[in-house]
Amino acid sequence: MSDALSRSRTAEPALDDAEARPVDVAPDAAVGPDAATGPDAGPVRRRRRRISPLVLFLQVAVAVAFVGGWELLSRIDVLDPFFFSSPSAVAERVWTWLTTGEIYDDLLITLQEAFYGLVIGAVLGLVVGFALARMRLLAAVLDPYVKALNAIPRVVLAPIFLLWFGLGIWSKVAFAVTLVFFIVFFNTYQGVREVDRVLVDNSRMLGASESQLIRHVFLPSALSWIFSSLHVSVGFAIVGAVVGEYLGSASGIGYVIAQAEGTFDTTGVFAGIVVLSVFVIVVDLLVNRVERHLLRWRPEPSHAEVV
C-alpha cells in the first residue's frame, strides 16, 4: 500500500495528449432535446439488490448444517463439550447474558472504544493524508517513516499503550487508532493524488480558490475513497478495541472472552465470539446505510452482485 508514497508522478501531464487519450464517454443514441425533456425520460434509476430465494435457501442450509452438525457431534461425544462446547449451551449463555443484561455494559464499552478509535484515527488519517498529498516534499521525507510505522505489528504496542494510557478505555482507543489511521491515511492520500486533473482545471477555470478546490473537489474525491474503505476501518476499529481488551482490561467483550478463557469456559468464549460477530454485522449494516447515503452520486455497478 505504502508504495503509493514513493510512486511520485513523473512530471505533470507529460504531453499534450488530450487527443491521444481514448474517450470513454458512451455515445448516446437518441438524445435530442425532446428525448431529454420528456418527463418519463427520467434516467434516475434506483436498483435494489435482491437476494434470490435459492441463494437465501442455501445460505440458511449452510447455517443449519453447520450448527446442527456441531450440536450433533458434541451430543454423541465425538466433539468433547469441554473443548468445543455446543450450540445449545452457547445459545443458552448468550440468552442469559442478554436477559440479565450483564453483557450490555461490556458491549457499550467496546462500542465506545471502537467509536473513539474510528473517529480519532479517521480524522488524523484525513488530515495527514491531505497534508502529504498536497506537499510533495513532506511526503518524500516522511515516506520511509510511514512505511516503518505501518510495518509494526500492532500487538507489540499493547504493553506500551497500557503503560501510557492505563487499563481504561484509552489504551484500547489508541490501539484502534493505530489500525484505522493507516487505512484512512492511505486512502486519503490516494484519493487526493488521483483526483482527475480535468476536474481540478475546470473548477479553477470557473474561479475556484485553493480552499474551494479542497472543499469541492479534493475532499469529496478523497471521501469516496475513504468511504469505500469504511467497512475495513470499522472492522479494524472493533478489532483494535477487542484485542486491546483481551490483552489487559477490566471490561469489554474482549475482557469477557479473556475471562472465560482463563477459566476454561469454552461456552463463554464461543458466546463472546457470537455476540461480537452479531455486533459487527449490525454495525456493518449501519455503515452500509451511511455509505449509500453519502455516495449516492455514484453510479451503481451495472451488474448487481448476487449477495
Partner 1 sequence: MVDAPYAIELTGMVKRFPTSDGGVYTAVSGIDLAVPAGRFVSVVGPTGCGKSTLLNAAAGLAPPSEGSVRIFGEPLEGLNKRASYMFQQDALLPWRTVLDNVTLGPRMKGVGRAEREQRGREWLERVGLGPFAGAYPHQLSGGMRRRVAVAQSWIVDPDFIFMDEPFSALDVQTRQLMEDQLLRLWTGSGKTVVFVTHDLDEAISLADEVVLLSAGPASRIVGTYPIDLPRPRDLMDIRTTPAFQDLYRAIWSDLRSEVMKSYERRALAVSNG
By CB under 8 A, name the binding residues for partner 1: 10-11, 13-21, 23, 25-33, 36-37, 39, 42-45, 196, 198-199, 201-209, 212, 216-217, 220-221, 224, 296-299
- Is the distance from CB of 237 to CB of 177 less than 8 angstroms? no
**82-110: b (≥16 Cβ within 10 Å) or e:** eeebbbebbbebbeebeeeeebeebbebb
Cβ neighbours, 10 Å, residue 71: 17
Question: Which CB, 86 or 187, lies closer to partner 1?
Answer: 187
Cell numbers placing 185: 491515511
Cβ neighbours, 10 Å, residue 247: 19
Question: Which CB, 7 or 296, lies closer to partner 1?
Answer: 296
Cβ neighbours, 10 Å, residue 213: 16
Question: Which CB, 211 or 263, lies closer to partner 1?
Answer: 211
Question: Which CB, 224 or 259, lies closer to partner 1?
Answer: 224
Output Rg (C-alpha) for the chain, integer angstroms: 25
- Rounded to whole angstroms, the Cα distance separating 305 from 50 reads 9
Q: What's the closest the beta carbon of residue 192 comes to partner 1, in angstroms?
A: 14
Place of cell 425533456: 37
Question: Which CB, 176 or 226, lies closer to partner 1?
Answer: 226
DSSP 295: T
Question: Which CB, 3 or 16, lies closer to partner 1?
Answer: 16
Q: What's the closest the beta carbon of residue 14 comes to partner 1, in angstroms?
A: 5
Q: What's the closest the beta carbon of residue 39 comes to partner 1, in angstroms?
A: 6
Q: What's the closest the beta carbon of residue 307 comes to partner 1, in angstroms?
A: 23
Question: Which CB, 101 or 303, lies closer to partner 1?
Answer: 303
Least Cα distance to 302 among 3, 11, 7, 45 occurs for 45
- Is the distance from CB of 256 to CB of 268 less than 8 angstroms? yes
Q: What's the closest the beta carbon of residue 47 comes to partner 1, in angstroms?
A: 12
Q: What's the closest the beta carbon of residue 25 comes to partner 1, in angstroms?
A: 4
Q: What's the closest the beta carbon of residue 45 comes to partner 1, in angstroms?
A: 7
